[in-house]
């Protein structure tokens, strides 16, 4: 069932995510600039930190809940929240309501869930963005995170943004829908299994002959590009927001 | 491993995973088999909307039946008794084994043939009976291979899926008298059938599992492809069916949708070769069938699972194995690495609840929460959510109102708990968090090159020169000043 989307708002919150904050801030800035170019004013609350998913997925619910409450508090006003990660957006959309069930914050968690959008989803369905590609010809592989495919169900939105890019050819890797092996703390707690998964992912991506890899989730990117680098394989990896912003200015 | 040893699950998990990942032949066997099964299933569900409607129907049927489980079990017992089926209740695996042995003793029986039954694996029946002088022969081809190799099943539907035909050819050549090495699959199956055929006539008791137990009619339904299930339940004079208490459905009308989902999800078949419906022992005017039929209703922790509203979703399972076939972890480590009767995603949910988190909870870490299992599940069990919940229960040392899974809090590590407490402090105090960002970005040159297991296979991520917090603040300042500037002009 398709989600009902609102008219383009005047303002949105931008929730940058902790990984982008520290390791991929250019992706966050690209997201903000894309939104502002669409005429949407972006509010970036300085009190934000992490959605709480690392602790939640590790089974530390109390710690996750405390951190989640702080995010709810700084995203309190009635405006959409745009998140440049399906994984963190899915945490807001589907896990906060569970995490706060039977607590005083449940209503606020449901409210936040209802107005949270993954970045590519928001650009496609709310901004109805039209992209003009000024970049050179490129062959691009896209890795959609498991959260984009099965949580927020926004994998198609990232693909449709790339399809708007006239000089970009999308190539499909084998087992495209399979997990890259990141899984947050999974990569550290079951490192050998995670490695077996990411090595296969790297092989499949390299086999496409793509010049670039894009993804809407920096967790997957950090995992895949980290493994590629260790193998000394060259496949530049970027967040989809950076990729699009650079080519459409 | 020759027998299932629950006590080794947590202790040997890392070692088993390591061994499995090193075994390239094993990995190729699983990858090939899982690809094949995923393809077969996908071909059975060409229309996504139809599939979703059928899954919703399956989920609703199983939920309706579970909602009235106590009443349905009573009704099932009553109808079975009316049909001449003797009903036994076993709270634990020990009780189930004892009941089955007692039936064997009553008939002076020393030989049993078995149809495929994962519940019998769960209670360790084969080894228990062997210890009491009963010869127990598996008649499902996969189970027969596994028994011949002195192993346990590596998949709940295809017990010998971890072996390729060369390995099976070697096994038959070594273990069955007078059999030459042959990779001809039809020939291998023919050899197995010849051995088994004779055993069907000799055994005094046949034991089967149950796929659906129908409360309205007291009928035991058995889904199979090889005919061994029918032989097991009709040739020996006594038939014992071992049935988990969650297998009960309300009426025969519930079966067709569940059966459609089961066979299509499991092996990509529209229907299995055999579908047996057993409603009692041989009647005076009938030519075949056993003289006695027993059903052993097995709890073994299921009541405890039932008591928790979220964990109860575990019991919807119709044991199709699709979650394993679609799991990127199972595909790489195979079924034996889990060390439990039930492997893969459903195994990661069922096993720690049956044997306790202190015994089998560690296997929940072998999951990236990618959700491919839940997406394939024909009755929509949110497997990733349940695995996550069990991780929580493993760490949770605060008492909970409902009966918690056994071993609650038993895997809590002090160092880990402290780390998450510090993380929470840092992440909910904006001042502290921004200070940490400042340090990480300004001292990025000092970022360690080795960060635990992460950098064993990956390069270390390097913090950016400026955090998004800083860049966003700068941007909003410059936006504000240019607006201000614009106003003055």
Ranges of each domain in chain B: 21-304, 414-488
Give a yes or no: residue A131 inside a domain: no
* Domain assignment of residue A132, yes or no: no
Considering only CB atoms, which chain A residues are within 8 Å of B459? 226, 229-230
| Same-domain check for residues A92 and A156 | no
pLDDT higher than 50, residue A248: yes
Average pLDDT over residues A211-233: 97
Number of domains in chain A: 2
Instruction: Give contacts of A189 with chain B, Cβ < 8 Å.
Output: 365
- Report the CATH number that the domain containing residue A233 is assigned in CATH: 3.40.50.1860
A44 shares its domain with A144: no
Q: What is the average per-residue pLDDT within A177-181? A: 98
pTM comes to 0.97
Choose the closest CB to A46 out of B375, B440, B473: B473
Chain B, residues 393-422, CB within 8 A of chain A, namely 393-396, 416-417, 420-421
Chain A residues closer than 8 Å to B374 by CB: 150
d(CA B325, CA B448): 39
pLDDT surpassing 80 at residue A139:
yes
Partner B contacted by A26 (CB < 8 A): yes
Q: Which residues of B touch A229 (CB under 8 A)?
A: 458-459
The residue out of A75, A106, A126 marking a domain boundary is A126
Quote the mean pLDDT of chain A.
Answer: 97
Asked whether residue A58 falls in the same domain as residue A145, the answer is: no
What is the rounded average pLDDT of the residues A46-68?
98
Q: Please, what is the average pLDDT of chain B?
A: 95
- Residues B416, B421, B425, CA angle at the centre, nearest 5°? 150
Regarding whether A158 and A95 lie in a shared domain, the answer is: no
- pLDDT tens-digit map of B133-152: 999 999 999 999 999 999 99
- CA B14 to centroid of chain Cα atoms: 19
Residue A122: inside a domain: yes
Residues in chain B: 489
Asked if A38 and A5 count as a contact pair (C-beta separation under 8 A), the reply is: no
Is B225 an interface residue toward A (CB < 8 Å)? no
Fold entry, domain B21-304: Rossmann fold (3.40.50)
The string of pLDDT tens digits covering residues B381-410 is 999 999 999 999 999 988 777 788 999 999
For residue B4, what pLDDT is reported?
A: 85
Contact across the interface for A230 and B457, Cβ inside 8 Å: yes
Q: How many CB atoms lie within 10 A of CB B367?
A: 30
Predicted local distance difference test score (pLDDT) of residue B2: 65
* pLDDT given for residue A1 in this prediction: 61
Average pLDDT of the residues in B275-287 = 94
The whole-number pLDDT of residue B479 equals 86
Q: What is the DSSP letter of A224?
A: H
What pLDDT was estimated at residue A138? 97
Instruction: Indicate if the pLDDT at residue B286 is higher than 70.
Output: yes
User: Does residue A3 belong to any structural domain of this protein?
Assistant: no
Contacts A184 to B, Cβ<8 Å:
368-369
Q: Largest alpha-carbon pair distance within chain A?
A: 53
Domain boundary pick from A96, A126, A156: A126
Is A196 within 8 Å of chain B by CB?
Answer: yes
The answer on pLDDT for B1 being more than 60 is no
Chain A CB within 8 Å of residue B461 CB:
yes
The pLDDT value given to residue B485: 72
* SS3 track for B296-334: EEECCCHHHHHHCCCHHHHHHCCCCCHHHHCCHHHHHHC
Among chain A residues, the shortest Cα distance to B452 is held by A188
Residue from B196, B217, B228, B201 nearest B278 by CA: B217
Half-sphere exposure of B197 (CA within 13 A, CB side): 6
CB contact under 8 A, B467 and A14: no
Give per-residue pLDDT as tens, A142-165. Answer: 999 999 999 999 999 999 999 999
Query: For residue A44, what are the domain limits?
Result: 11-126
Q: Which residue of B has its CA nearest to A179?
A: B370
Contacts of B366 in chain A (CB under 8 A): 190, 193
pLDDT on residue B488: 57
């Amino acid at each position: 069932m398709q989600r009902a989307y609102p008219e383009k708002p005047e303002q949105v919150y931008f929730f940058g995510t902790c990984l982008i904050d520290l390791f991929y801030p250019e992706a966050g800035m690209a997201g903000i600039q894309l939104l502002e170019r669409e005429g949407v004013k972006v509010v970036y609350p300085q009190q934000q930190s992490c959605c709480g998913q690392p602790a939640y997925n590790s089974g530390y619910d109390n710690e996750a809940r405390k951190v989640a409450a702080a995010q709810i508090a700084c995203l309190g006003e009635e405006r959409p929240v745009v998140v440049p990660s399906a994984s963190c957006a899915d945490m807001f959309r589907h896990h906060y309501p569970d995490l706060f069930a039977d607590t005083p914050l449940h209503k606020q968690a449901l409210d936040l869930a209802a107005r949270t959008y993954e970045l590519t989803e928001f650009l496609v369905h709310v901004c109805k963005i039209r992209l003009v590609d000024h970049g050179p010809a490129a062959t691009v592989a896209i890795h959609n995170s498991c959260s984009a495919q099965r949580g927020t169900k926004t994998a198609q939105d990232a693909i449709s943004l790339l399809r708007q890019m006239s000089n970009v050819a999308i190539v499909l890797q084998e087992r495209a829908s399979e997990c890259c092996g990141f899984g947050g703390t999974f990569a550290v707690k079951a490192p050998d299994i995670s490695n077996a998964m990411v090595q296969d992912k790297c092989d499949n991506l390299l086999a496409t002959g793509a010049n670039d890899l894009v993804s809407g989730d920096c967790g997957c990117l950090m995992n895949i590009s980290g493994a590629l680098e260790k193998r000394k394989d060259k496949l530049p990896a970027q967040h989809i927001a950076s990729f699009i912003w650079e080519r459409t200015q | 491993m020759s027998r299932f040893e629950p006590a080794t699950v947590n202790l040997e998990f890392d070692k088993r995973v390591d061994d499995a990942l090193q075994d390239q032949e094993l990995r190729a066997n699983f990858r090939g088999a899982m690809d094949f099964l995923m393809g077969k299933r996908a071909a059975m569900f060409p229309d996504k909307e139809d599939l979703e409607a059928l899954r919703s129907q399956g989920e609703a049927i199983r939920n309706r039946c579970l909602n009235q489980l106590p009443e349905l079990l009573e009704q099932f017992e009553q109808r079975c008794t009316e049909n001449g089926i003797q009903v036994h209740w076993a709270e634990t695996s020990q009780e189930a084994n004892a009941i089955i042995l007692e039936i064997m003793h009553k008939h002076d029986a020393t030989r049993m043939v078995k149809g495929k039954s994962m519940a019998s694996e769960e209670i360790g029946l084969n080894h228990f009976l062997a210890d009491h002088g009963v010869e127990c022969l598996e008649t499902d081809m996969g189970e027969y291979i596994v028994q011949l190799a002195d192993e346990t099943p590596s998949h709940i539907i295809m017990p010998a899926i971890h072996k390729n035909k060369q390995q099976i050819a070697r096994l038959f050549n070594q273990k069955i008298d007078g059999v030459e090495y042959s990779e001809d699959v039809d020939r291998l199956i023919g050899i197995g059938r010849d051995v088994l055929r004779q055993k069907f006539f000799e055994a005094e008791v046949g034991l089967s599992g149950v796929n659906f137990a129908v409360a309205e009619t007291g009928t035991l339904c058995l889904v199979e492809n090889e005919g061994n299930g029918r032989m097991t339940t009709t040739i020996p004079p006594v038939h014992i069916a071992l049935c988990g208490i969650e297998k009960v459905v309300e009426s025969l009308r519930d079966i067709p949708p569940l059966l459609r989902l089961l066979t299509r999800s499991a092996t990509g078949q529209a229907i299995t070769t055999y579908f047996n419906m057993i409603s009692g022992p041989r009647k005076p005017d009938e030519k075949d069938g056993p003289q006695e039929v027993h059903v052993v209703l097995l709890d073994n922790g299921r009541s405890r699972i039932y008591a928790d509203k979220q964990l109860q979703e575990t019991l919807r399972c119709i044991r199709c194995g699709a979650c394993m076939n679609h799991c990127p972890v199972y595909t790489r480590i195979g079924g034996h690495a889990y060390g439990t009767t039930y492997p893969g995603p459903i195994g990661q949910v069922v096993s720690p609840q049956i044997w306790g988190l202190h015994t089998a909870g560690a296997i929940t870490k072998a999951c990236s929460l990618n959700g491919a299992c839940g997406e394939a599940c024909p009755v929509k069990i949110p497997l990733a959510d349940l695995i996550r919940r069990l991780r929580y229960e493993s760490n949770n040392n605060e008492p909970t109102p409902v009966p918690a899974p056994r071993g609650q809090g038993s895997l809590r590590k002090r160092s880990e708990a402290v780390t998450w407490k510090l993380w929470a402090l840092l992440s909910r105090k904006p001042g502290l968090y921004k200070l940490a960002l400042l340090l990480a970005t300004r001292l990025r040159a000092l970022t360690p090159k080795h960060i635990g297991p992460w950098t064993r296979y990956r390069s270390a991520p390097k913090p950016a020169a400026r955090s998004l917090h800083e860049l966003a603040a700068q941007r909003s300042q410059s936006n504000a000043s240019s607006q201000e500037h614009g106003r003055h002009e």
